[in-house]
Amino acid sequence: PSTQTYESRSQTHPTAAGRKLLQIMAQKRTNLCLSVDHTDPEKILALVRQLGPKICLLKTHIDIIAFPPTTAASSIKSFTTKLQELSREHAFMIFEDRKFADIGSTVQHQYRGGVYEIASWADITNAHAVPGPGIIRGLKEVADGIGQPRGLLLLAEMSSKGNLGGGEYQQRTLAMARDREWRGFVMGFIAMKEVGGGEEGEDFIVMTPGVGLQVGGDGLGQQYRTPEEVVGRDGCDVVIVGRGIVGADDPVAIAEVYRERSWRAYEGRVKKGQ
Ligand code: UP6
């Protein structure tokens, strides 16, 4: 898949969420996902209004946001409704980076219910493969009841130093993802390089955090690589950037640098395959 264009993959991707995402990427010429890691809901909405045109995907951590406590439930709902409105206005999708990691029955409640009702507003979410296939089956049952395209990413490897992913863990995660039972639901991976699985009818979208304009780290294990390394050399599809943009003095200007460099790296990669 890595040498095919996003446009051609958007026609054939086995998941509805994947087709929609790849189409947005091709149309807006962006493979940038903003990880809007801020705890103030108003600040998040202001950033999303500014950066919406540059991104294909907005990544949230809904459980780090400090909602006004007295009206928490209604302020969460109004926040996620606003995010959905912005996603339609600017044509990006929403990815709640929940990293589910429990048995199927528990993750069903976490995905559907609680105060966040993630399944109702997030197009995409993710899960660890540690619990085994029941976690995917549980999440899929909830997704099937939503009536909107919903996609799942499995974490095959993490960006942080010393993480236990990659290698054999990644191979076993790939094997779990390939089960035909969830071909229309598991759309790809969080991983640091292409994962494989390009058999007939398969096409896993690889999304990669730990991206900076220079190689580096954050002192808490995060490791940064450049868009050229991640997309051009290692065959990843979507570049996920948090503090590199959110913490910048001029987020719009910096987001454009990330978008440009990530898009060029993709174009170079596709050209190499021709
Ligand atoms: N994230 C990683 N590494 C992973 C998986 N997820 O960094 O392996 C998430 C973090 C954060 C974002 O939870 O939201 O991606 C990266 O943020 P940063 O660009 O500010 O480092």
In the Cβ-directed half-sphere of 265, how many Cα atoms lie within 13 Å? Answer: 23
Interatomic CA distance for residues 215 and 222, integer angstroms:
11
**Residue whose entry in the numeric block shows the structure tokens 């910048």:** 248
pTM of the model: 0.96
Please report the ipTM that was assigned to this predicted complex: 0.99
Annotated catalytic sites, by residue? 97, 99, 102
Q: How many CB atoms lie within 10 A of CB 262?
A: 27
- Residues tagged in the binding site annotation: 37, 59, 159, 222, 242-243
Q: DSSP letters of 164-195?
A: S-SHHHHHHHHHHHT-GGGTTTEEEEE-SS--
Give the distance (Å) from ligand 1 centre to CA of residue 210.
6
Q: What is the pLDDT of residues 231-253, one digit of tens each?
A: 999 999 999 999 999 999 999 99
**Residue whose entry in the numeric block shows the structure tokens 């898949």:** 1
Interatomic CA distance for residues 183 and 117, integer angstroms:
24
Residue 158 CA, closest ligand 1 atom number: 8
Interatomic CA distance for residues 6 and 20, integer angstroms:
11
Which residue's alpha carbon is nearest to atom 6 within ligand 1? 209
Interatomic CA distance for residues 183 and 189, integer angstroms:
13
Residue 192 CA, closest ligand 1 atom number: 8
Nearest residue to 60 (alpha-carbon basis) of 87, 86, 97, 28: 97
Give the distance (Å) from ligand 1 centre to CA of residue 152.
17
- What pLDDT was estimated at residue 29? 98
Nearest residue to 51 (alpha-carbon basis) of 271, 259, 231: 259
Q: What is the pLDDT of residues 78-124, one digit of tens each?
A: 999 999 999 999 999 999 999 999 999 999 999 999 999 999 999 99
Residues with CB under 6 A from ligand 1: 35, 37, 61, 97, 158-160, 190, 209-210, 222, 240-244
Segment (H or E) for 45: helix 41-51
**Going by C-beta distance under 8 Å and a sequence separation of 6 or more, which residues neighbour residue 37?**
61, 64, 242, 243, 246
